[in-house]
Structure 1
Amino acid sequence: MTVVEEERVANERSASHRLGSVQGHVVIQRDRVQGHNRLYRDYFAEEPVYGPRLFRRRFQMHRPLFLRIASVVEDFDPYFVQRRNAAGNLGLPSLQKITAAMRMLAYRVSADFVDDYVLIGESTTIESVKSFVKVVVAIFVDDYLRSPNNDDIKKIARDW
């Protein structure tokens, strides 16, 4: 509830001032809190709306793997930690940034496409993808982003 109240107060405060960092730039007021709450309720709550099968289909991985990657990424790069911006408004939670980045990469869709559900803008999605890719490479390059060896090939062939 605190997040919702802070967002409401910030929106009221910013309504009287010019919005955006570029004069004439159109600012879309997204309900980021609603976006986070819906995302959490649908996929990450203790009893999510969409179960493990749909999570796997929609995220191209199992939920525990997603959460492990998200946790490691958030611990590694402060960009993914929710914080206040220069205007004092609460920023996006890591779950929204990481979900937008992963969906864009998994489905090869434009940054604009993920806005409908995740409720984050195109430029933020692009920034999230760039940061996410850099972090994933830095963290996982030695273990997962190498050429497969004979044991890896056998395991892959056995799983298929």
Structure 2
Amino acid sequence: MSHANLMNNYFNLNSMHTEEDFRRRFQMRRHVFERLLRDVQQVNPDFRQKWNRARRPGFSPHQNATVALQMMAYGSSADSMDEIHGMSEFTCLDTLEQLCDIIVQVYKNEYLREPNQEDLNRLIHKAEDRGFPSMIGSLDCMH
């Protein structure tokens, strides 16, 4: 039921929430979420739908990714995920750890690297256009 609600709210063609709602809730666009989920499933089969011994479906890949991303984006506790998604604290923490490991493994070379000079120039120009000159090197952007 939790999976069906999640899909009806955010992922089905006629979902209840708009693309803007999705971006606000998940802190990313839907196509980015889907790409991340596809990449994660290729690396780790634990993010695929599994069936338990009673022949009942386990948590869906969308549920696993949603829980982990909500914990990261909002600092939600694993306990709170049980109430919202019906996922135990242990399962939430394990899912979060797996997702973080996979993100580093898959995206390290492309996104998790030190910026090069081209990146720095682009960021400096973007910051200047927004009224924050010389923001690189200042975590609080106040200098």
TM-score band by shorter chain is 0.7 to 0.9
Trace 1:1-160 onto structure 2 (pairs within 5 A): 34-157=1-124, 158=126
Q: TM-score, normalised by structure 1?
A: 0.73
Asked which structure has the greater RCO (Cα within 8 Å, sep 6+), the reply is: 1
Aligned-residue Cα RMSD (Å) equals: 1.6
How far has the Cα of 1:87 moved from its partner?
Answer: 4.8
User: In the alignment, which residue of structure 2 is the partner of 1:12?
Assistant: none
Return 5+ residue gaps in structure 1 as ranges. Answer: 1-33
Q: What are the superposed Cα offsets for residues 95-152 of structure 1, whole Å, 9 maximum, x if unpaired? A: 1011000000111111112233322221111110011011111101010011111222
Structure 1 counterpart SS, 2:28:
coil
The aligned amino acid for 2:43 is: F
Return 5+ residue gaps in structure 2 as ranges. Answer: 131-143
Percent of pairs identical after alignment?
31
Q: TM-score, normalised by structure 2?
A: 0.81
Structure 2 counterpart SS, 1:114:
helix
